[in-house]
Amino acid sequence: MAPSLRSHLKRRKLQKLYQLKKYYNPDDVPGELVLPTEATATEIRLIDYNETDWIERKNLTVEECCPYLDTESVSWIDVQGLGNRETIENLGKLFGLHRLLLEDVFNMLERPKMEDYGEQIVIIARMVTPPKEGERFSHEQVSFVLGKSYLLTIQEEKSYDCFEPVRMRLEKNRGIIRKRGADYLTYALIDAIIDGFFPVLEHFGERIEDLEAEVIENPTSQTLQKIYAIRRDLLQLRRAIWPQRDVINILIRDGSGLIHEDVRLGFRDCYDHAVQVIDMVETYRELTSGLMDVYLSVVGNKMNEIMKTLTVISSIFIPLTFIAGIYGMNFNPEKSPYNMPELNSYWGYVLCLGMMLAIAIGLLWFFWRRGWLTNSSTRIGN
């Protein structure tokens, strides 16, 4: 393995270890909230709606959310950012979340899962962000607390989410979303999260196509690092989507009093999308494995071409070196007629060079007739 690649993998391992240390500490008390130091300020956004009315409020406090929870309309409380401990603890008291449950909700390395508490359903999922030009994709945790007439969502960051189309449907009263309850809103948001994987996968597809051309035309050590980077990112995608498929399957299979039967049918469509994402991830992982094999084959083929060229050059100069070595020996022709009589020849030097040139041209013609001077990749392409 190349030294640059080894150092790159070592840095990645250290980064993962550092990330774990930020969230896990053996001395932490169970149920204690350990918030990341770089977390952004907490912002609460509320959307309250029914079939005829719709209202949206931003930058609310926890106390300002209380009146909306007692109405018959559906209330969506969206919390973005985890920088305010007091706000988070007050939210836990408002929605009656157990300390251990609150720890799971705000632990940003939690595995996607679903817990049914009778009057509440807690769903933890992972949302991916399409990468910008020259950057890698990112992912964050999104937690759902579903009640009878409310839905609490908690996002790690407030820079991006894939819920904007759902907000537009609520605002414009498109479809049946405002005619349904909080369970349908939960389905719509989870479906938006699953659909958010497809733009990321499209980006990976384009990167793999570019890498295929690069591997064939001009493979370098950086090409190998790019392949490893894509494999690592695809592994993260797989870890994000695979347990979410299981969560959706539990929602379909086990059901709950908070989720109506027709909404469970919607989750079946969501499950199909999750399976499709997993299939695409596995396909791309196989393609990157194939790219690795092609890279090694191309690099080996180039090395063979170099060795073949050096062998041809050596083969041409071997007889020439032999001739030059013979006539470089110091035998006196005056002592014996057999001691290099060519040294006294008038055209001896010219004839020797001509013979050496003829041998070189003859060997080149022989190699050409055998096809050894033709690039093997060119022959394959033809």
DSSP assignment of 328-372, as one string? TS---TTT-TTS-GGGG-TTHHHHHHHHHHHHHHHHHHHHHHHTT
The residues near 167 (Cβ < 8 Å, ≥ 6 apart) are 47, 56
pTM as predicted: 0.74
Distance, in Å, from the CA atom of 176 to the CA atom of 6, rounded to the nearest integer, reads 54
Residue-level pLDDT at 375 = 61
Residue-level pLDDT at 23 = 47
The 3-state DSSP composition of the chain as helix, strand, coil percent (nearest 5) reads 60, 15, 30
- 248 burial via Cβ count (<10 Å: 0-12, 13-18, 19+): buried
Judge contact between 56 and 171, C-beta under 8 A. Answer: yes
> How many other CB atoms sit within 10 Å of the CB of residue 179?
11
* HSE (side-chain half, CA atoms, 13 Å) at 272: 5
Residue-level pLDDT at 228 = 87
Q: Which of 91, 179, 195, 180 is nearest to 143 (CA)?
A: 91
Residue-level pLDDT at 108 = 65
Residue-level pLDDT at 223 = 86
> How many other CB atoms sit within 10 Å of the CB of residue 144?
22
Which CATH architecture describes the domain 3-297? Answer: 2-Layer Sandwich (3.30)
C-alpha to C-alpha distances, 320 to 68, 80, 228, 340, nearest whole angstrom:
97, 79, 48, 18
Query: Residue holding tokens 């007739």?
Result: 369
C-alpha to C-alpha distances, 99 to 89, 104, 127, 170, 227, nearest whole angstrom:
9, 9, 24, 32, 43
Q: Which residues of the chain have pLDDT under 50?
A: 1-24, 26-27, 376-382
Number of H helices, E strands in the chain: 11, 7
Residue-level pLDDT at 151 = 93
